[in-house]
Amino acid sequence: MDEKLTALETAIKAGKRKDALALTQELVQSSPPGGILNALISGMNDVGKRFKANEIFVPEVLVAARAMKGCLEVLEPKLAAAGLSPEHTIVMGTVEGDLHDIGKNLVVMLLKGANFNVIDLGVNVPPEKFYEAVKEHHANVLALSALLTTTMPAMKSTIEKMRGSDLKDIKVMVGGAPVTQAYADEIGADGYSMDAASAVELAKELVG
Ligand code: B1M
């Protein structure tokens, strides 16, 4: 059985969706879902690390994430039945006025790969919508992406909206090509990360 788990991890690392799905379907018949989840997470962790080290690029991450997504769909009912559903919820979106979503989608995929429940609000998301989603889903973290210098102030207004509300203690993380740690500090974010792999590490710290 361990061999099958190792094969599943390898299939995720290589982005082999069909192989990964077949192995997951076989494994759910007889293996504890937690072990299968760990194999998937371990595969995606490796993908995240290699992406960060510039050993692989966006297309490889996307195929691995797609494979992971398919396997998670098969595994989800078993995880829920075993009480192993994701513990933490992250609401994420690209801020108001900004339509860039490729980087945001990568962050979402790696966060899901690390077993976070991610509510993806898409692009051009106004502060009110972020507020409502955080409230509705009892989120632990709010994650904001911006790719334009002209939309960075929308991060600030979103954080102001949260800090001036009943959800003022929500942990907020920010990222995107023009965003810096200095800007994150200036607008009162709880964390900044420069790429998708570090975003996962940051999210873990924020909920830890
Ligand atoms: Co746009 N665009 N664009 N564009 N575009 C940039 C960003 C730009 C740098 C190009 C340039 O001029 N050199 C420039 C911004 C300049 C600036 O503000 N400093 C620009 C501009 C000006 C514009 C328009 C205004 C152009 C126009 O219409 N005149 C317009 C604006 C539209 C709008 O948003 N309102 C526009 C439109 C578009 C397209 C629609 C054509 C398309 C977007 C398609 C889409 O996303 N679905 C597009 C694209 C593709 C780009 C470039 C070429 C690529 C962006 C990208 O996807 N990168 C970009 C130039 C470039 O970066 N080379 C450019 C790949 C992606 C994996 O990286 O998004 O950085 P990135 O995400 C990374 C990290 O930043 C980080 O993790 C990701 C993975 O490691 N990250 C986070 C992202 N979010 C995070 C959140 C986190 C943590 C990490 O925590 C919450």
Does the CB atom of residue 178 touch ligand 1 within 6 A? yes
State how far the alpha carbon of 161 is from the alpha carbons of 87, 132, 168, 169, in Å: 26, 11, 8, 12
What CATH number should be reported for the domain whose range is 3-81? 1.10.1240.10
Between the two ends of the chain, the Cα-to-Cα distance in Å is 32
Q: What is the position in ligand 1's atom list of the atom closest to the CA of 97?
A: 35
pLDDT at 129: 98
175 CB near ligand 1 (under 6 Å): yes
For the CA atoms of 149, 150, 151, 155, what is the dihedral angle to 10 degrees? 70
Domain boundaries, the chain: 3-81, 89-207
Q: Is 189 a pocket residue for ligand 1 (Cβ < 6 Å)?
A: no
Q: How far, in Å, is the centroid of ligand 1 from the Cα of 27?
A: 40
Domains 3-81 and 89-207 share a fold: no
Among 158, 155, 205, smallest CA distance to 180 is for: 155
- Which residue puts its alpha carbon closest to atom 38 of ligand 1? 100
Residue 194 is given by DSSP the state S
Tell me how far apart the alpha carbons of residues 40 and 36 are, in angstroms, rounded to a whole number. 6
Q: What is the CA radius of gyration of the chain?
A: 17
pLDDT in tens, the chain (208 residues): 589 999 999 999 999 999 999 999 999 999 998 899 889 989 988 998 999 899 999 999 999 989 998 998 898 888 878 878 899 999 999 999 999 998 898 899 889 888 899 999 999 999 999 999 999 999 999 999 999 999 999 999 999 999 999 999 999 999 999 999 999 999 999 999 998 889 999 999 999 9
Q: How far is the CA of 77 from the centre of ligand 1 (A)?
A: 36
Q: What pTM was estimated for this model as a whole? A: 0.88
CATH topology classification for 89-207:
Rossmann fold (3.40.50)
Give dist(CA 11, CA 20) in Å, integer.
5
Location of structure tokens 């909206």: 161
